[in-house]
Structure 1
Amino acid sequence: MIMSNLYIKCLKSEKIESGARYGQFLINSLRPGQGITVGNLLRRVLLSDIGGTTITAVRIAGVRDEFSIIPGVREDVLEILLNLKGTVFQSKSTDTQFGRLKVKGPAVITASSIQGPSDLEIVNPNHYIATISTNGVLEIEFKFEYGTGYKLAGQTFCDKSEDFLQMDAIFMPIQKVDFKIENVYDNTNYVTERLFIDIWTNGSISPEDAISSASEFIIDLFNSLLQNKFTQDANDLETANPVVPLNPHTNIAIEELQLSVRAYNCLKRAQINTIGDLLEYSPEKLQELKNFGRKSADEVFATLKNKLGIVLK
């Protein structure tokens, strides 16, 4: 049972360079051993189950593939895609959305030039994307998606008719999580633990909201387990999924039996490669194999019994 005076406190919350956020939290009055349990669980959920919105595909005017060079633009397409990955977005929507960028040079292009839906906010508007050194125009269309974890670009183009160039997408807004545990002793030498959690985000979510979302995710997960417990009796499970006992020796190669050359060659010619194959033959059927006489059969029966405890009936 968790102690009734358990509480969480925000010790630090600050912005760091490029719009990223850092927060430190204290969870107090944990029983011995609970610190590592709570710390590990929160860290795993924060890093893998908190979602975000990012660019997953682009369409650049006049570009056929990711190895192209755009006239008048200092960066090639691969460099532009890499720079776009560093742009951080905040959105309340989980739907697929689209945006665009159109800039006439000469100009230095930053993330602030991206025009998207009204609920899509750019966290780091000063983030560098590209430089146009002539009076040319750079025009890019963007596809924004919400997700968790990361997604590798499965193919070059999403759809040949759309010519959208896929990008590796990192949805995770949490960049790093650390925690440490300290013991606390009272006047009666009773021990409790306190847990310090440090959270770094990319700025699209505050550390306070991140730890709240992680806690809600954990609560929902275990509530789901409680609501769906014992949906089937053990007898129902046995009926629905009958378990077929497997012979532990089934996949052992017949070479392990170390038979004589004659007996071994006869079995291999009959495509008997494992003990499982051998057990499919009755003693009578086994002796019907070409050049496999009574002596070879007795050798196989004795070896199976002595080495593996298997008796052919």
Structure 2
Amino acid sequence: MNNISIKCLKSEKIESGSIYSQFLINSLNAGQGITIGNLLRRVLLSDIGGTTITAVRIAGVRDEFSIIPGVREDILEILLNLKGVVLKSKTRDPEFGRLKIQGPAVITANSIQLPSNLEIVNPNHYIATISTSNCLEIEFKFEYGTGYKLAGQTFADKSEDFLQIDAVFMPVQKVDFKIENVYDNSNYITERLFFDVWTNGSISPEDAVSTASKFIIDLFSSLRKNNVIQGTNEFNTQDNKSPLDPHTNIAIEELQLSVRAYNCLKRAQINTIGDLLEYSPEKLQELKNFGRKSADEVFTTLKTKLGIVLK
């Protein structure tokens, strides 16, 4: 792995606030491209942390099925819209913010009053519309984390006043890579790795790749410093346990369904892919307001994103 270099070929900011960059890693030995590409991709998507809204307290609202007089959206739609607010944080400590607006008004992310440690990346992101002179008051809780957490897993201390939100902390939205062979005059083969990274704007792809690389180095450095412990047979009693489906705990938010299909699933307490797979196609279509069009959308998304085909 001599003379390996990484270069940013292009970088651009997308209108939504997302950032895209393409990188080139040169002078890899044959077979190393797929190893480095897969490792970087997995770390970028699962181990890079971010800050997001994890709970809200809305004045006069006790649960997600309540209605706010004068507000066009229901509570579930507002919570779903809040999941799209992208935050950049200088701290990993929990923070609080608030919003208080007198209608009529269109509420966007820049209406949220934040502590000095937080910054909103997409200030024009839509949240709700107040069509009357009513006042909407919301308190927000922001937390730092990695991956995603279901609403019930987010807090150690629960409060009846707060509505918890399924939190997606991942700032890296998508990672692709491809490998090309390079031949020299003596027919010696090396590889070059093209790496494409999309982030939500809270971190640049360059910083994300740097952070992921440091994570990998620290991980293997700790393995190298520790002596290998000789194995025992103590774990043999676990051998008969069936392996867990890797998709079981993935939140349905990862499917990025339409608002109608998403709301129907949430009302039926379908929060994860594991919950969804317990339903047959026929049983799924029996859900209230869940028609054939929504069912086709779910089946197609499961197949294209996760390779799951419901029989």
Query: C-alpha separation between the residues in 1 aligned to 2:51 and 2:209?
Result: 18
Q: Does the CA-based 8 Å contact 2:54-2:154 persist in structure 1? A: no
Please point out which of 92, 101, 104 is paired with 1:103: 101
Work out whether 1:22 is the aligned partner of 2:34.
no
Query: C-alpha separation between the residues in 2 aligned to 1:242 and 1:161?
Result: 45
Query: C-alpha separation between the residues in 1 aligned to 2:195 and 2:14?
Result: 17
String of CA shifts for 1:63-106, please: whole Å, max 9, x gaps: 01101110111111111101100000010211111111111111
Query: C-alpha separation between the residues in 2 aligned to 1:17 and 1:193?
Result: 34
Larger radius of gyration: 1
Matching residue of 2:179? 181
The correspondence of residues 110-125 of structure 1 with structure 2, limited to 5 A, is: 110-125=108-123
Please point out which of 32, 55, 58 is paired with 1:57: 55
User: Shift of residue 116 of structure 1?
Assistant: 1.4
- CA distance change for structure 1 residues 155 and 91 in 2, over 3 Å: closer, same or farther? closer
Matching residue of 2:253? none
| Unmatched runs of 5 consecutive residues or more in structure 1 | 249-313
Query: C-alpha separation between the residues in 1 aligned to 2:157 and 2:141?
Result: 13
Matching residue of 1:79? 77
The correspondence of residues 132-281 of structure 1 with structure 2, limited to 5 A, is: 132-154=130-152, 161-230=159-228, 232=229, 234=230
Q: Does the CA-based 8 Å contact 1:158-1:165 persist in structure 2? A: no
Query: C-alpha separation between the residues in 2 aligned to 1:84 and 1:20?
Result: 17
- CA distance change for structure 1 residues 29 and 59 in 2, over 3 Å: closer, same or farther? same
Query: C-alpha separation between the residues in 1 aligned to 2:155 and 2:69?
Result: 22
- SS of the equivalent of 2:201 reads coil
- SS of the equivalent of 1:19 reads coil
TM-score for both structures, normalised by structure 1:
0.72
4+ residue runs over 3 A deviation: 155-162, 241-246
Amino acid paired to 1:52: G
Query: C-alpha separation between the residues in 2 aligned to 1:175 and 1:43?
Result: 11
Q: Percent identity over the alignment?
A: 78
Matching residue of 1:48? 46
Query: C-alpha separation between the residues in 2 aligned to 1:108 and 1:66?
Result: 21
TM-score for both structures, normalised by structure 2:
0.73
- CA distance change for structure 1 residues 198 and 244 in 2, over 3 Å: closer, same or farther? closer
| Unmatched runs of 5 consecutive residues or more in structure 2 | 240-311
- SS of the equivalent of 2:30 reads coil
- SS of the equivalent of 2:57 reads strand
Amino acid paired to 1:72: G
Matching residue of 1:37? 35
